[in-house]
Amino acid sequence: MMKKTKWLHRWSMVSVLTLALVACGTDENGGEQQAPDNSGDEPTSEERVLTDGMGNEVTISGTPENVLGTYLEDHLVALDVLPVAQWSVHGGDSIQQYLQGDLEGIPLIPHDLPFEAVSGYNPDLILVDSPALVEGGKYEQYAKIAPTFVIGEEENNDWREELLTVGEVLNKKEEAEQVLADYNTKAEEAKVQLQDSIGEQSAAAVWLINSSFFIVNENLSSGAVMYGDLGLTAPAVVQEISAADTANWSAISLEKLVELDADHLFLINSDGDGADSAIQDNLWKSIPAVQNGNVYEFEQGTAWLYQGAIANGQIIDYILESLVE
């Protein structure tokens, strides 16, 4: 199962898709790579030496313009930085749909960052969101292309720390602090609204994919938003599974879901509602929140499966729209 890392959450998504790698010099759709024009920001000549999560000393000149930071796009967009390419799986079958209002038109790069594809985008900074992605000598390959900064495991497990780290690397420390402050204010205001609207009522989030259900951890991913930032009550089943598993999303059987004593249920549905969908099963229909009509359904492309100031801000909006009259 997935461990307590955003990287392993990403690989859990990848495991249900067929992977396709691109040829050198083309994006995953077969077209020529066209990086965004970030020349409007005047770079400085200042050189900074930063130590990354693997202990590498990375020299960064001024404010990088052509940044590659796959699966860190939430932080980049929040800091008004358009990457030269964006994370994808299987030629774009899986991308971060919730960010496409900002990333539409940004070319795709495979999730595993093939050396030739990375080189083709000519980045002046490569941000890697987990040491696992540079195993097997890949760090040395990337470092030949551009300064390469690897996010440490501790920061990778805490989106706030990761945002601040990315801000420091990009020479946007103050901007990152402001993004975080704005998010915290939004969460605090939403918490008050929810308390006034539903009080101590409980809620849970369940993801349906390939006819299997997963329930969000009380302390991770969108669970950290629901229970940590917004103060929603975690049902006993969520507490039980979270105590036994450190995955962002843990597998749960329909039989166990029947025991879910949640007043409200958020369903991230990757399978649709056809005749063969698991949500047509009688066991699903016997879940108390389902019987009471308190299920709020969302598509996979929404922000529920991601983390960051933008994703979490959108999750807050979803929860308020669902629960506050």
Average the pLDDT over 206-216 and give the result: 97
pLDDT digits (tens, 9 = 90+) for 170-190: 999 999 999 999 999 999 999
Quick: pLDDT tens for 64-120.
Answer: 999 999 999 999 999 999 999 999 998 888 999 999 999 999 999 999 999 999 999
Q: What is the pLDDT of residues 141-154, one digit of tens each?
A: 999 999 999 999 88
Length of the chain: 325
Q: Are 19 and 87 in contact (CB under 8 A)?
A: no
Say which CATH topology domain 187-323 has.
Rossmann fold (3.40.50)
What are the DSSP calls for 96-112, one per residue?
-GGGHHHHTTPPEEETT
Give the CATH number of domain 6-171.
3.40.50.1980
Q: How many CA atoms lie within 13 A of 169 on its CB side?
A: 30
| Range list for CATH 3.40.50.1980 in the chain | 6-171, 187-323
Beta strand spans in the chain (E): 47-51, 57-61, 67-68, 86-88, 108-110, 125-128, 148-150, 203-209, 212-216, 249-252, 264-269, 295-299
Strands 125-128 and 67-68: parallel
Instruction: Tell me the average pLDDT across 127-141.
Output: 95
Q: What's the mean pLDDT in 15-32?
A: 34
Please report the pLDDT score of residue 78 as a whole number. Answer: 98
The number of angstroms, rounded, from the C-alpha of 17 to the middle of its chain's C-alpha atoms is 17
pLDDT of residue 275: 83
**Residue whose tokens read 């009522």:** 201
CA distance readout (Å), 33 to 36, 85, 109:
10, 9, 10
* Residue 32 predicted with pLDDT over 50: no
104 Cβ partners below 8 Å, 6+ apart? Answer: none
**Please, which pLDDT band fits residue 12 given cuts at 50, 70 and 90?**
very low
pLDDT-derived band at 46, boundaries 50, 70, 90 = confident
pLDDT at 13 over 90: no
295-304 as b/e, with b when 16 or more CB fall inside 10 Å? bbebebbebb
Is residue 94 within 8 Å of 149, Cβ to Cβ? Answer: no
Query: What phi and psi values does residue 266 have, to the nearest 5 degrees?
Result: -95, 125
Q: For residue 17, is pLDDT > 50? A: no
Express as a percent the part of the chain with pLDDT over 70. 86
